Amino acid sequence: MTDIQDVKTLVTELEALSSGNSKIKSFKQDYTINSHSIVRWKFNEYNYYSKTKLPISSRGLFIDNDESKICIRGYDKFFNIDEVFNTKMANLKENTKGPYNVTIKENGCILFASGLKDGTLLVSSKNNLYVPDIADENKKIISKDHAKEGYTQILKLFKNDTERLKNFALELYNQNLTAVFELCDDSFEEHVIAYDSQENAGLYLHGLNKNSIQFETLPMKNVYDFADKYDFKKVDSFEYETFDKLFEFLNSEETDNTYKGKEIEGYVIRCFQKDTSNDFFFKFKFEEPYLLYRQLREVTTEYIKTRERVYFFKKNKKITNMYLDYVIPILENDPKLCEDYNVHRKGTIKLRTDFFRQAGLLNENTNTLNLKLLAELYDTVEKLPIDKNTKYIIVPVSILGLGKTTFTSCLMNLYPKSISTVSSDLCQQRKNNIPTLMNSALKLLHDGYKVVIFDRNNHLPVHRDLILKEFAEQKEKIFPHDTNIQLIALPFVDLQSLTQKRQKALENILKRGDNHPTIKADNFGVKGVTGILNRFVREFK
């Protein structure tokens, strides 16, 4: 149980972090509700990843200044498996204990409800407390935000019974609890998974937290009893006694992105720290199809904003391009849809589902995306066969003076219709010319050449990373989705042979004299050439 002095000490620490120059910085927001002074505290999201211990790790924290009491307390920030040190597999196995309660991770926005001693109901999101407009006699909700929507839905669920609302708030206050909900309702705001019917849309109660500095949450049985008492929706859960049994389930081939025929985002695992028995949460999230869903939403939003098609995708390239081919004509002819999509976040799910349906990618029985078909589509472009239609960009890894240009010229003379080159030395843009060279290389391939040699030293990893990045960004603008272009590294030197080949490179540079676009050996002299060469040798990686 957190006493008043503990909360005062916490507030002092938070106040110090709000005004100092520490890497950890807290932020506060003051509210007044029925004459109560309530303060919201929060940190930047990245602070939760810091090795520096926070005064409190709650995401969602509101303190009643009048009583020096925590009045709303969210979960401690929890992470995906392998996302941080504490959730590395070895650490989870070593430092946690069961039972491991597995709850379905519903896909909405998190909300909190608690009460004051006078029966005032508090409803908040992580960052915002709903304050009724006291000037409005009808207590209408006047601004559109998540906390207000949560309050509205509770009031609606209680059939506008203000006495029940007060009893609900008093029970939370007297038990020193915060009720934790997921607001899932497409009529208010769409996320990734559909909640579009009376059966599945609403407020899901998934936690009852003690309003204490140390994270303490009640068992799911208590949560279910509380949900039944007040008619909230419940999240499904099940339990494993041991870590090994838990991961036998999570790693099973039968574990996919559905639960009882419904798409789910993943699972939240609730367990205990082995040394302290304190509550500890971590999560198991499915990468697909939610990475794809978010990507489709992002490229749609970007197109509506800029009217420019996005070409660079790290994954799901083919299906995203197919989707854009489908959706751009629709967006161009439906301004209302564009407004709903970007302003009101409506139409996201219908648009992508219509696309999946016409592409033949939906499961017939559940109307959900067929991941097997998605994987097959992924394989057709991500694992394109190397055949007679494949094109190549050869990327030397070298220092100057080892014959890259001579090698390139020989190949071009032997195969003038098949092989071409782009040269850094001949590029008018001397610095940061990789994007320009890549554009020229891709255009040469598009014009019919089979191979283009990227005549450049590329002696640093940052150069090679940029080549890969520019290739990924520019290829889709010039070629169809299913064109296979392979990038092949061609080392002229490695770390083992660097010292030996340095001498040969110096001899070659001096021998050719001024017969080079940029390194004029006769003009620079031995000392000048040696200095340039030594810099390349030192930097080579």
Tally of CB atoms within 10 A around 334: 13
- Torsional sign, CA 347, 349, 350, 356: positive
Could you give the CA distance from residue 405 to residue 401 in angstroms, rounded to a whole number?
9
Tally of CB atoms within 10 A around 329: 9
Determine whether 105 is an active site residue. yes
Q: At what angle do helices 348-358 and 290-306 cross, to 10 degrees?
A: 110
Q: Is the separation of the CB atoms in 284 and 257 below 8 Å? A: no
Could you give the CA distance from residue 39 to residue 397 in angstroms, rounded to a whole number?
58
Tracing tokens 């937290």 back to the chain, one arrives at 209
Q: Which residue in 107, 105, 265, 258 sits closest to 184, CA to CA?
A: 107
Could you give the CA distance from residue 124 to residue 262 in angstroms, rounded to a whole number?
28
Helix H segments across 243-285? Answer: 243-250
Q: Which residue in 462, 471, 329, 324 sits closest to 394, CA to CA?
A: 471
Q: Report how far apart the first and last C-alpha atoms of the chain are (Å, whole number).
A: 57
Find the catalytic residue in 42, 77, 105, 317: 105
Give bridge partners of residue 30 from the DSSP assignment: 39
Tally of CB atoms within 10 A around 103: 22
Could you give the CA distance from residue 440 to residue 428 in angstroms, rounded to a whole number?
13
CA 203 → CA 200, 208, 270, 324, distances in Å?
9, 14, 20, 34
Q: Which residues are catalytic?
A: 105
